[in-house]
Amino acid sequence: MVALTPTQDKYLPYVLAVALFMQILDATILNTSLPQMAQALGESPLQMQWAVISYALTLAIFIPISGFLADKYGTRRVFLSAIIIFCIGSLLCAASPTLDFLISSRIVQGIGGAMMTPVARLILVKSYPRNKLLTVMNFAVIPALVAPLVGPVLGGYIVQYTSWHWIFLINIPMGIFGFIMGKKLVPALFEDSKRLDWTGFLLFAAAACGFTLAVEFGTQVGREFYGMMLGLLASLLLGAYIWHAKRRATPLFPLSLFDIRTFRIGITGNLFTRLGISAVPFLLPLLLQVVFEYSPSQAGWLLAPIAVGAIGIKPWVSNIIQRYSYRTVLVYNTTLIGILIIILAQFNDAAQWMWFIPILTVMGACNSMQFSAMNTITIGDLHGAQTSSGNSLMAVNQQLAISFGIAFGAALLNLLRERLQMDTLTAFQTTYWILGLFTILSGLHFLRLKPEDGRGLY
């Protein structure tokens, strides 16, 4: 445990708070801005998904090496470098003249984000004793609750009254503030780092990219063959990673994690139930603005109830799980989320906006319950060295689910419009039906849990 100065002890949690706020704000502020960005870049609003997918996929790929870099080069150096890279990526995004340039810039931004938040969290874990860690972490993650509430509304007003470029330029002053704080407060912590499994990293990264691209190309007219080949290649790469991991003493993600039943069920359920959940925040602003012709700020305000519901349910999550068990909560809650997604398919008139508010508030509460329950049951039975690698894999899995979910939702929408010649509203409604039914079916996976699973976590 590092010896902190009184100033560091008091203010170090603010460093993680700033990093979390920057990253989550950037992820949530973009959704309501996509139609205006598409217009400025000469693209269709329904073809902007890669501006979001590229960032989430980059996070998923680079999160596993953030801990290794921090151990080898020091937490202070890596954290400050991450902020600089994130800000450079933000400047490039703001200067993007084309969608392809924007996607490349989002990848740069994602590399910085992949190191920024995990390393900040690692700094707190290494700097505070166990009996203070929960209090410190709870304070530091408050911005993680506030940013999803602020992001869509702020994004809507920015593009409506200024320019979409400020969606990214707003990161610069926050980045400068975070850099100054980090330079003064972050201790330089080093560890004896083991040699990173670079082969495993490359195989895993290539497989993740391959699966995401396979979904995208597989639903485009004339590119089905490429999608099929990419899916086959990604499957072979994943198989190669499994073969490699079995033969390496310290793989990127040890396969022994999957010997633990609750981890195996939790990580798989985490991936599949998040597909529909991840697609909704991307698709809903498009429906509101492209079909119902809401202004960006109106769309932002209608997304805010999701965050309100998520914050409101937080104090009750533990009590609900204690009373009904992880198995019961996850099965019924996933079903309810699927039903709520299907309800979104019933909207066909902009005048129905008042009904969005209670539905999205309940959806936000259900999402919050889902994430808390899934994350806890996934890593609850891990011990020792398994905890670190399992937690890292879970973080990667969550980002992959976001990229897969957005890719799947966007591909489905475009498939219905281009192949089946549906009008845009009907295509959105059908997409919500399919995503909702898929989410309900994915919840059946949690029936594999036992009623007593997770009882020791209460």
Lowest-confidence region among 137-141, 169-173, 255-259: 137-141
- Long-range own/partner contacts, residues 356-361 (CB < 8 A, 24 or more apart): 356/302, 356/305, 357/302, 357/305, 358/305, 360/302, 360/303, 360/305, 360/306, 360/309, 361/305, 361/306, 361/308, 361/309, 361/312
For residue 6, what pLDDT is reported? 83
Average pLDDT over residues 405-418: 90
Residue 314 has pLDDT above 70, yes or no: yes
Confidence band of 458 (pLDDT split at 50, 70, 90)? low
For residue 192, what pLDDT is reported? 73
User: How confident is the model over 65-84, as pLDDT tens digits?
Assistant: 888 888 888 889 999 999 99
User: How confident is the model over 95-133, as pLDDT tens digits?
Assistant: 999 999 999 999 999 999 998 888 888 888 788 776 776
For residue 157, what pLDDT is reported? 93
Average pLDDT over residues 260-268: 93
User: How confident is the model over 421-457, as pLDDT tens digits?
Assistant: 899 999 999 999 999 999 999 999 999 999 988 877 6
Q: What's the pTM value of the predicted model, to 2 decimals? A: 0.90
Residue 217 in tokens:
């190309």
Question: Is the C-alpha dihedral spanning 382, 313, 301, 151 positive or negative?
Answer: negative
Residue 170 in tokens:
């707003």
For residue 130, what pLDDT is reported? 66
Lookup result for tokens 């990093």: 19
Contacts of 22 (CB under 8 A, 6+ apart): 86, 116, 171, 174, 175, 178
Question: Helices 424-443 and 385-418: crossing angle, nearest 10°?
Answer: 150
For residue 224, what pLDDT is reported? 79
What rounded mean pLDDT belongs to the chain? 89
For residue 291, report the phi and psi dihedrals to the nearest 5 degrees: -90, -50
User: How confident is the model over 330-363, as pLDDT tens digits?
Assistant: 999 999 999 999 999 998 888 888 888 999 999 9
For residue 134, what pLDDT is reported? 63
Helix count (H) and strand count (E) of the chain? 17, 0
Closest CA to 89 of 103, 101, 106, 74: 106
Average pLDDT over residues 212-233: 84
Residue 380 has pLDDT above 70, yes or no: yes
Would you put residue 386 in left (φ > 0), alpha (ψ -120 to 50) or beta? alpha
Contacts of 252 (CB under 8 A, 6+ apart): 64, 196, 197, 200, 201, 204, 241, 245
How far apart, in whole angstroms, are the C-alpha atoms of residue 270 and residue 274? Answer: 6
For residue 362, what pLDDT is reported? 96
How far apart, in whole angstroms, are the C-alpha atoms of residue 427 and residue 418? Answer: 10
Average pLDDT over residues 17-46: 88
Closest CA to 412 of 292, 230, 283: 283
For residue 194, what pLDDT is reported? 74
Q: Do residues 129 and 18 make contact, with C-beta atoms less than 8 angstroms apart?
A: no
